[in-house]
Chain A
């Protein structure tokens, strides 16, 4: 008998977005069950329904053969379901044990029994081989360990079914392996794991069975042993896709951007970029590799002029741009696709047309004697919407109504509507579906082929390996390794350096530093 079943689940959000439409999911006890699909396929909505955060409009949930409905997370927790979100729900200044027991604390009278809490967390951590010290505050732990705290939290509440929402997205390859060891140990001790992901090799490695979702529907349930990466991808998008881009040979002799001795100190006084040197040449893509938070984002922001720098020199085409405001840097041929399209890349309440000219308000084509030329702005938008096949009702629609992939296309269209000299790209395809990813990769590569120098940072190693000519690995704000992107370069090799387990000598790095 199935442990948990979702039958004919339907969910329509206010505003008419159909997120789930007749979704069926069957979870057997003691299995690792992966749910895969593109972004916007409805995976997250389904999980939120299983965990009681959202209520379905149709269908039913069956747990242990009995109909259940969860009014909220609390009810789901009580029924033995635990969920680990992609964004951790941990209080940063609280100790590990406080985070684990919060909400179901051991008590002694009205007192919070700390000793017992620490002992219980320690016991749980030993039992499930989720090694973590109960005492330090979680903010001092690396991401992989914070994730373990989240899993412990669910186990502490006696979860039998554990839902992991894209657990590998934030981890380095080695940490992914550790997570998989933990998952296997959980399953061996009778737990059931639901694993949401869109990185197919990982899905095939860890799961027993896979449910595939597409556009709010379940399109199939397969055994992991019976499918290949390719057939799974085809199921996900409904057609064969190859995530690959061809890069033309280009002339990479001209040095466009130079960064010397860059130091960036964040608002809390911590040095996040510690003396970085790098060059980017015309016609090449340089990938900045690193676990998130090791200085890649700050390096890009410093070059774009969005963050003050503590020391160092930045030159563009031989001219220093250190003290220049953002607009002047853009005027000299810099373009930037920021990490967070919603808070930094776009004004979500403004229209597509307005967003597409928002960096060009000194351009006489769009603004004359201080007045907007609305017709020119609309024409510009119509043209770019067509060129980038942005799916939107028209230039006058607000950006906030678009899907993630189409929002990102708006950013890309704006930044690349004119050929830049230096293009800064951070997480170009985070939360973007495969079709749009393919398109965005193509567009960035086209800019490179036409002679732009591109500096790319991404949490997705396959993206970096697919696009980059050279790869620079950052660890704690320092350059620890540099590679030419050759076919024999693997994510595992990069991972060793990303985690700071080893460092190349200056001699090793030399061939890849130009």
Chain B
């Protein structure tokens, strides 16, 4: 028991949480932007996965930041493609989203095999790169709390810092700029912005592009920091967890951060627990984040219903 305690309250565990949370948070922010514009992006999973593979392959030939940008770009392109099918060709957006997911599941394996010369499982024989960690060890010089600061703040991915900033940026965009007002208006009642001359389909198209770009960025973090290299189906449902996190976070950027942190924490558990409890099947432990997702969504829904019932009684 003591072992868990020591592990959970250690700085390394905190760093693990930040690591597991970052791809989820990026995807959740992506899901949030799309959801608020009324274009439910069920393709986060597929976009992330394609982002992973693109980043890995590009990183073999180009510097890490180009690879990250490639992951982001390919996600944005997929978002634009979804928008094209949904708003120009009038296809159902949920079906288009699932098509992207299916395309990603098969397409990444196919592309991986082409890139590696036949390996359909991992990119182990590709020399892919990692996103550098931000070294803040100079903080140790601060007397007293310096070493603690270093232990907690140093060693995170560049993208983790970026993701934290993006929470603020997305919030500012949504609630402090005119375009955020448009986006939320389009999502809640498209008739109103339309009558005001705001191009509804265009707003949704852009939010899908941004949504895809954020998911792709999450993919880059996953394949270039959490793991270095691509494994088939390596996103393992994170895109769907992100969709749940959007709702759990009450469709607000700060809520999204908290929800992503919650799921990230349980994923971190799943990372460290097998070392502590070797009698427990690893498969069971790996289920934890998903069980928590379902439990959290059920609890959230019950709570929301109760809140409504309370208001009804008044």
Contacts and interface: CB of A to CB of B under 8 A. Distances in A.
Interface of A: 72-74, 77, 83, 85, 87, 89-94, 98-99, 102-105, 107, 110-112, 153, 265, 268-271
Interface stretch (B143-151, B181-189, B217-225, B291-299): B181-189
A270 B307 CA distance: 12
Nearest to A87: B191
Nearest to A98: B181
A112 B177 contact: yes
Given A91-B188, A93-B188, A102-B185, A271 B312 contact: yes
Contact of A270 (B176, B192, B198, B311): B311
A103 B311 contact: no
Top 9 A-B pairs, shortest CB-CB distance: A269-B312, A103-B196, A74-B197, A89-B195, A105-B178, A269-B308, A89-B192, A91-B189, A91-B185
B197 A92 contact: no
5 contacts: A77-B197, A89-B189, A93-B188, A99-B192, A102-B198
A90 B191 CA distance: 8
A94 B197 contact: no
For the residues of A in contact with B, the DSSP-based class is: loop
Interface in B163-191: 176-178, 180-182, 184-185, 188-189, 191
Contacts of A107: 178
B182 A111 contact: no
Nearest to B173: A110
Contacts of A103: 182, 193, 196-198
Contact of A102 (B182, B309, B313): B182
A104 B188 CA distance: 18
Contacts of A104: 196
A112 B180 contact: yes
Contacts of A268: 308, 311-312
Nearest to B188: A91
A459 to B, nearest CB: 21
Nearest to A52: B197
Nearest to A104: B196
A102 B181 contact: yes
Contacts of B188: 91-94
B194 interface: yes
Contact of A110 (B177, B191, B308, B312): B177
B196 to A, nearest CB: 3
A504 to B, nearest CB: 26
A321 to B, nearest CB: 25
Given A89-B191, A93-B188, A102 B196 contact: yes
Given A91-B184, A112-B176, 19 more contacts: A89-B189, A89-B191, A89-B194, A90-B189, A91-B189, A91-B192, A92-B188, A92-B189, A98-B181, A102-B181, A102-B182, A103-B182, A103-B198, A110-B177, A111-B177, A268-B308, A268-B312, A269-B309, A270-B311
B75 to A, nearest CB: 24
Nearest to A74: B197
A90 B312 CA distance: 25
A72 B198 CA distance: 11
Contacts of B189: 89-92
A153 B196 contact: yes
Contacts of B197: 72-74, 77, 103
A85 B195 CA distance: 9
Contacts, number: 70
Contacts of A87: 191
Given A91-B188, A92-B189, A112 B181 contact: yes
B171 to A, nearest CB: 13
Nearest to A112: B178
A73 B178 contact: no
Q: Which of B195, B198, B309 gathers the greatest number of chain A CB atoms within 10 Å?
A: B195
B195 A73 contact: yes
A102 B184 CA distance: 11
B270 to A, nearest CB: 38
A383 B196 CA distance: 49
A90 B193 CA distance: 8
Nearest to B185: A91
Nearest to A114: B176
Contacts of B182: 102-103
Given A72-B197, A153-B196, A268-B312, A111 B176 contact: yes
Contacts of A98: 181
Nearest to A156: B196
Contacts of A73: 194-195, 197
Q: Which of B189, B197, B310 gathers the greatest number of chain A CB atoms within 10 Å?
A: B197
Contacts of A110: 177
Nearest to B197: A74
A161 to B, nearest CB: 16
A91 B193 CA distance: 8
A73 B313 CA distance: 44
Q: Which of A87, A110, A153, A269 gathers the greatest number of chain B CB atoms within 10 Å?
A: A269
Contacts of B184: 91, 94
Contacts of A92: 188-189
A73 B198 CA distance: 10
Interface string B191-223: 111111110000000000000000000000000
Q: Which of A90, A93, A103 gathers the greatest number of chain B CB atoms within 10 Å?
A: A103
Given A112-B177, A112-B180, A94 B185 contact: yes
Contacts of B180: 112
A102 B186 CA distance: 11
Contacts of B309: 269
A98 B177 CA distance: 12
Nearest to B310: A269
Contacts of A85: 195
A74 B311 CA distance: 40
